[in-house]
Amino acid sequence: MQKKKTYAVFGLGRYGTAVARELIDNGMEVIAVDMDQKTVTEAAAYLPVCKCADITDAEVIDRLGIANIDTVIISMAGNLEASVMAVTLCKEAGVSTVIAKCANEMHQKILLRVGADKVVFPENESGIRLAKSLLSSGFIDMISLSKDVSMVEVDVKDEWVGKNLIDLNLRKKYGFNIVAIRIGQQVSVSIDPQQPLQKDMTLIVIAHTAKLSRL
């Protein structure tokens, strides 16, 4: 059985709380952290593991066990210094994926420079959408079209390379419909089902959200 991924969310404002709650609602293990005791006390009502801690302190990061976390989401766009320290300490601790929320393009450059793997603008990507994207590991992007249906971009798996869509029968196996194929910046909706798939292709598909975990 595949090991369940673990997450930590630093900063429990509206964005961070939305990420944490969505992950928890989908059965994920989440450590929620904020530096304000009042915020933590309020959030503890719906976040099972919620701690008040200074995530800019290396010893605190160590005590929280962040080195064992797969993905950390840093949701403190209003405090660049704290965000920079948190990103740096998490990467030094060995966290494989660190995602940081930023306030503007300059902050984005700084956070990427100090090691963030992805930087998001809250006005462009809601906390719930980010959580859904994380839950759909292996997908490049995910957009909810309705409560039950999503459009996602999927990398071509190694075992699919050289095979065509007829042979793979992905609709029957995974329950999704391929609506386009992207190579680089070029997107084609004229799909030849007999064309062998290539590693540099991205499949744009529509599927029932509940079935995406089968990938």
Q: What is the pLDDT of residues 15-31, one digit of tens each?
A: 899 889 988 888 889 99
pLDDT of residue 146: 60
CATH number for 6-135 (one of 3.20.20.210, 3.30.300.340, 3.40.50.720, 2.40.160.20): it is: 3.40.50.720
Say if CB 27 and CB 33 are below 8 A apart.
no
Domain spans, the chain: 6-135, 139-214
Amino acid 168: pLDDT: 87
Tokens 């530096």, located at residue: 35
- The predicted pLDDT at position 145 comes to 58
Q: What is the pLDDT of residue 169?
A: 85
Identify the pLDDT of residue 203.
83
H or E element that contains 205: strand 201-208
| Cα→Cα distances 78→27, 46, 75, 166, Å | 29, 24, 9, 50
Predicted local distance difference test score (pLDDT) of residue 77: 81
pLDDT of residue 57: 94
Residue 1's pLDDT is what?
A: 43
> What CATH number does domain 139-214 carry, 3.40.50.740, 3.30.230.70, 3.40.50.300, 3.30.70.1450?
3.30.70.1450
Q: Which residue stretches of the chain have pLDDT < 50? A: 1-2, 124, 137-140
Are both 6-135 and 139-214 of the same fold?
no
- Please name which of 126, 127, 146 lies closest in space to residue 23, comparing C-alpha atoms: 127
Per-residue confidence (pLDDT) for residue 33, from 0 to 100: 97
